[in-house]
Structure 1
Amino acid sequence: MNITIPNIHHKDSNNFFLIAGPCVVEGRDICFEIAEKLITMTDKYKIPLVFKGSYRKANRTKVDSFTGIGDEKALKILEEVGKSFSIPTITDIHESHEAAMAAAYVDVLQIPAFLCRQTELLVAAAQTGKVVSVKKGQFLSGQSMQFAVEKIKAAGNNNVILTDRGNSFGYSDLVVDYRNIVEMKAFDVPVVMDCTHSLQQPNQASGVTGGKPALIETIAKAAIAVGADGLFMETHPNPAKALSDGANMIALDNLEAVLARLVRIREAIL
């Protein structure tokens, strides 16, 4: 993979890498609980781990939906997780001025799918020198993501990750086209499959996004089979009580068994 992520575990591993954690930073204790369990299982299977948590959720359906515990407070928790467990961390940014702020605390800056064409945001993220992970818009093909890569590299940063998270299918569903993984790998950057957000059912009449978490393993298996370099999975000890995107998360206690099966698939295709 043409990328350098500081402190990533098992650099000599031939495994896929895993980006995992809660959707949003809900508090210190739950982040540490999730991180500790993730490290235990990824160490067991020699899976490089990047801990994920949004310091703020800027894209919520309803005005009264939970957005975060405060930017600086959440970012400091992510920084503490990274330092305590010697693992890299990732969070998403939404506006150009947030890039430098978040970069002071985390190793990887994530560009949300709806913002993947925002030139100023991409350039600002690139100029921090951090790894920049861009989610493919639900409205774009894999081929069209070459321009996001070009914008980041033109700003002097070659550490780019592309992530597929499905394509809009009607008004309230998503579908995964695995050709996108192959197309994006042609840009010589690591490609990740977001196995949880790709199963969202957005724009529900209730104002709460739905999902199909029973299919997370299916999405992940297919992604590994077609050559994805990494997987993205949001997880929580109790998804039903998660403050954001609980409907499409994998329960933390169910994740290890899934990873064990995915590792076997990875071994089979190497």
Structure 2
Amino acid sequence: MSIGPSRIGRGQPLALIAGPCVIEPGDLTDRIAERLAKLRDDLGIPVVFKASFDKANRTSKGSFRGPGIDEGLRTFERIKRATGLPVTTDVHESIQAEPVASVVDLLQIPAFLARQTDLLIACAETKRAVNVKKGQFMAPWDMEHVVAKLQAAGASGVLLTERGTTFGYGRLVNDFRAIPIMQKTGAPVVFDATHSVQLPSAGQGVTSGEREMVPYLAKAAVATGCDALFLEVHPKPEEALSDGPNALRLDDLEPLIRICLRIRAAIEE
């Protein structure tokens, strides 16, 4: 399937969806996008820039949510012009689908909303590609119904993302069987290595995480055959305004992707 100039799926290079969790004040978001565009050029892989204009599901009311849809879309337009990267962001309400699709190349459905039929249909009817994160409460085989809803409503393409399954309180686990199971739907499968190491609501009113586990899960997912990796990155994760504990340090991104590309080459021999 195509996302702007990028193609993701079987027979295509390992793709990367990456960026900060949320659009932060100042030029930080643009600087991250520039680094990702350089990575695209240096490694010759498809890269999609991601960030949220509104984190609508923060644990605490006082947590930073983002600049909102209007400023967010202006940021995405600027990044696309400056870098040529396709962009993606999450859509939380049906009413957001059309204006977001006027700028963004790939609409993302958050895991908590993966079963929301009206939201799925609204996104599909924009004729943009849609990436649905498998709900933490869903089995991988349940996602065939999500794909059917989107295809029936006219989505130009569908991605599915594995991002962990709830295991008790404050912890997620990954069942890597989910990757080949969801690929049986015909949709390319993305592995979200940074949200998979979240410790939900485990940090005094915020979500914590285990950043040091990101490389292990990313490499395992590539070895299992995922079509793309999803990684939240930040120059200084300890200062990030959202999801810092599970974000990968930006300087660590290229070395990890180089290793993952070698794994990908090995399993394709």
- 1:47 is the counterpart of 2:45: yes
- What pairs up with 1:1-270 in 2 under 5 angstroms? 3-8=1-6, 14-27=12-25, 29-204=27-202, 206-270=204-268
- The percentage of aligned residue pairs carrying the same residue is 47
Helix, strand or coil at the partner of 1:161 = strand
CA distance in structure 2 between the aligned counterparts of 1:161 and 1:203, rounded to whole angstroms = 27
Task: Give the conservation status (yes or no) of the 8 Å contact 1:181–1:191.
Answer: yes
In structure 2, runs of 5+ residues without a counterpart are none
Task: Name the amino acid aligned to 1:77.
Answer: T
In structure 1, runs of 5+ residues without a counterpart are none
Helix, strand or coil at the partner of 2:3 = coil
Per-residue deviation, 1:74 = 1.3
Task: Give the conservation status (yes or no) of the 8 Å contact 2:8–2:227.
Answer: no
Per-residue deviation, residues 3-46 of structure 1 (Å, max 9, x unmatched): 121122899x8421000000001135111110111121232221
Per-residue deviation, residues 158-204 of structure 1 (Å, max 9, x unmatched): 40000000000111100000011110000111100000000000022
CA distance in structure 2 between the aligned counterparts of 1:186 and 1:43, rounded to whole angstroms = 31
Q: How many residues align?
A: 268
CA distance in structure 2 between the aligned counterparts of 1:64 and 1:181, rounded to whole angstroms = 36
When the two chains are superposed, the root-mean-square deviation of aligned CA atoms in Å is 1.7
Per-residue deviation, 1:221 = 0.6
Helix, strand or coil at the partner of 1:97 = helix
Task: Name the amino acid aligned to 1:245.
Answer: D
Task: Give the conservation status (yes or no) of the 8 Å contact 1:173–1:201.
Answer: yes
Per-residue deviation, residues 103-143 of structure 1 (Å, max 9, x unmatched): 11210000000000000000000000111000000011110
TM score, norm. by length of structure 1: 0.96
Identify the range of structure 1 (186-195 vs 152-161) with the bigger mean alpha-carbon deviation: 152-161
CA distance in structure 2 between the aligned counterparts of 1:148 and 1:158, rounded to whole angstroms = 14
Helix, strand or coil at the partner of 1:117 = coil
CA distance in structure 1 between the aligned counterparts of 2:89 and 2:98, rounded to whole angstroms = 12
Task: Give the conservation status (yes or no) of the 8 Å contact 2:127–2:156.
Answer: no
Identify the range of structure 1 (146-155 vs 27-36) with the bigger mean alpha-carbon deviation: 27-36
CA distance in structure 1 between the aligned counterparts of 2:227 and 2:156, rounded to whole angstroms = 17
